[in-house]
Structure 1
Amino acid sequence: MIRPATPADVPSIAALIRALAEYEKLSHEVVLDEATLRDHLFGPRPFAEVLMAEADGRAVGFALFFFNYSTFLAKPGIYLEDLFVLPEYRGHGLGKGLLIALAKLAEERDCGRLEWAVLDWNEPSIRFYQALGARPKDEWVLYRMTREAISALAAEG
Structure 2
Amino acid sequence: MTHIRPAEPSDVPTILKLVKELAAFEREPDAVEADVAALDFALFEEHSAEAVIAEVNGHPVGFALFFHNFSTWTGRKGLYLEDLYVTPEARGGGVGTALLRHLAKIAVERDCGRFEWSVLDWNQPAIDFYRKMGATGMDEWRVQRVSGEALKALAAD
Give the TM-score, by structure 1 length: 0.96
Alpha-carbon distance in 1 for matches of 2:44, 2:51:
10
Structure 2 counterpart of 1:10:
12
Q: Which amino acid aligns with 1:16?
A: L
| CA–CA separation in structure 2 for the residues paired with 1:39 and 1:6 | 12
Query: Quick one: distance in 2 between partners of 1:58 and 1:148?
Result: 40
SS in 2 for 1:46: coil
**DSSP-derived class of the 2:30 partner:** helix
Using the TM superposition, name which of 5-14 and 31-40 deviates more. Answer: 31-40
Q: How many residues align?
A: 155
Aligned to 1:129: 130
Q: SS of the residue aligned with 2:64?
A: strand
Moved beyond 4 Å, runs of 4+: none
SS at match of 1:27: coil
Task: Specify every segment of 5 or more residues in structure 1 that has no aligned partner in the other structure, as ranges.
Answer: none
Seq. identity, %: 53
1:41 aligns with 43
TM-score (normalised: structure 2): 0.96
- 1:111, 1:25 → 2: CA distance? 32
Q: What residue identity is the alignment partner of 1:31?
A: E
User: Distance between the aligned counterparts of 2:73 and 2:122, measured in 1?
Assistant: 31
For residues 114 and 10 of structure 1, the distance between their equivalents in structure 2, rounded to whole angstroms, comes to 24
Identify unmatched segments of 5+ residues in structure 2: none
